[in-house]
Amino acid sequence: MEREKPAGVASGEVGRSRRVTRKSVSRPVTRAIDPETHRRMLRFMALARELEDRIERKLYRQGKILGGVYVGRGQEAIGVASAIQTLPDDVICPSHRDMGAFLVRGMTPPRVLAQYMGRRDGYTRGRDGNLHMGDLGLNIIAFVSMLADSVPIAAGIALSFRIRKQNRVVLCYFGDGATSRGDWHEGMNLAGVRKLPVVFICNNNQYAYSTPLAAQMAVANVADRAASYGMPGETIDGNDVLAVYESVRQAIARARAGEGPTLIECRTFRMTGHSAHDDASYVPKRLFKEWESKDPILRYEQWLLREGVLRRTDIDYVHRSVIEEVDRAVEWAEDNPYPPAEDCLRGVYHE
């Protein structure tokens, strides 16, 4: 079932693994990323990891979180390095492994935890769970469980920018499994036909629940599908934060310039089961080992140290501070009340 890996994915290095699979994308020299952006990216990746670890490995097991828990451990580079480049007026349509993107765009750990716990001040006031949350004030669109439903929605958001002549872009996220759904293809096609300003970002973590890539699609790469929709598609190392940053930077620039959508396939690996109750026994153990060595946070830290962007003490501080932040958030969320039961009846229609 093993497929050919895109060049560079196995290298375990940062910043040099990218492969353009179809139409070539123009590649200006990468602008230097300023140290503050590096620090923020590391911090959001670490925060997403810590928050999700706490949710999955502690609160869920303690019975404090009910329902489904789907984390993006090992996939943090994708949401963070993409969303961090958006402007406040840009819109993101994240999916269930994109905690980092939610955080970058302004959602906060206390309310995220309240959301997971079904509390009053979760982002959906207890109406929905886990990352099924959005905030129009932050330009974050809530997704639904029917995968890829956000793809035509992203196209429609971009269409509204076209209608109003606004120079805004949409980042739309999904997994490899979602690319099998009809809505994905309808939405990609609409975006392609109308050359809409959308960056489509695939978390290709190689498993859709228990189904491996080879049983999900007949082409080698998700990016190969881009050709059908007249847009460039590329496959990059999704565990390489700098590769994600650069690829998304160019795609956003294309979108803003009116050159249309791009599909970016970020090759990564789901370091957990599909959800917290899934032991992923169907995944060969060696794959976990192999991808553990390509952990996006560790690789990024090594690069930051090697390049002298951050010192070890800076990195240690980042980790300490996110642990403390999540500690405080858990305390806040546990103190947050449940919504009143009769709230069940409110808000179905405009009131």
Give the residues lining the site for other proteins (CB under 8 A): 91, 123-124, 127-128, 132-136, 141-142, 144-146, 149, 151-164, 182-183, 186-187, 189-190, 193-194, 347-350
Q: How far is the CB of 168 from other proteins (least distance, A)?
A: 9
Contact predicate 106/136, CB 8 Å: no
């492994």: which residue's tokens?
97
Q: Closest approach of Cβ 38 to other proteins, in Å?
A: 32
For other proteins, the closer CB: 122 or 238: 122
Closer residue to other proteins (CB): 155 or 241? 155
Q: Residue 76 or residue 128: which is nearer to other proteins going by CB?
A: 128
Q: In terms of CB distance, is 48 or 153 closer to other proteins?
A: 153
Specify the residue for token string 């602008």: 31
Q: Which is nearer to other proteins, 41 or 148 (CB)?
A: 148
Q: With respect to other proteins, which residue has the nearer C-beta, 146 or 298?
A: 146
Q: Are 279 and 273 in contact (CB under 8 A)?
A: yes
Write the CA distances from 257 to 29, 86, 196, 252, 254, integer angstroms.
Answer: 18, 15, 11, 8, 5
**What is the side-by-side order of every strand in the sheet holding 18-20?**
18-20, 233-237, 262-267, 198-204, 170-175, 91-93
**Distance (Å) of CA 328 to CA 47, 92, 217, 325:** 13, 27, 43, 5
Give me the least distance between CB of 210 and other proteins, in Å please. 23
Least Å distance, CB 145 to other proteins, is 8
How many Å separate Cα 133 from the centre of its chain?
Answer: 14
Distance CA 309, CA 35 (A): 6
Query: Nearest distance from residue 345's CB to other proteins, in Å?
Result: 10
Q: Min. distance of Cβ 231 from other proteins in angstroms?
A: 14
How far apart, in whole angstroms, are the C-alpha atoms of residue 326 and residue 107? 13
